[in-house]
Amino acid sequence: MKKILFLMVALTAAAFAAEAEVANQTLKAYSMIAAGVGLGLAALGGAIGMGHTAAATIAGTARNPGLGGKLMTTMFIALAMIEAQVIYTLVIALIALYANPYLG
């Protein structure tokens, strides 16, 4: 982690010292890195959340089979909300890649 942080700081200095076109290319590259990391983290968080939701639903159904239908309905609502967070990250990443407000 420290190596990545050091590399980012070192490349930032190069970006500020570069000409305008090179700086735009560097900013585009950083935008792509940020979009990839952001989507990866969002997908990881969403997958962990979905796994916990499914495990809790299965455990609840095993304890009380009569509530299985209600638990499944609640689980699907929770899964939709978890997936919505990942989709919001995708939208932000696409904005950063294709309509980057920092490029001027």
CB 11 within 8 A of CB 22: no
Q: Which pair of structure tokens corresponds to residue 85? A: 């967070």
- State the pLDDT at residue 3: 74
pTM value?
Answer: 0.68
* Cα angle 82-43-3, degrees, rounded to a multiple of 5: 140
The dihedrals phi and psi of 51, each to the nearest 5 degrees, come to: -65, -45
Residue 18 above 60 pLDDT?
Answer: no
Mean pLDDT of the chain: 84
Outline where DSSP puts E strands in the chain: none
Q: Which domains does the chain have, with CATH numbers?
A: 23-98 (1.20.20.10)
How many whole angstroms from its chain centre is CA 26? 22
pLDDT in tens, 69-90: 999 999 999 999 999 999 998 8
CB 49 within 8 A of CB 41: no
**9 pLDDT tier (thresholds 50, 70, 90):** confident
The dihedrals phi and psi of 93, each to the nearest 5 degrees, come to: -65, -40
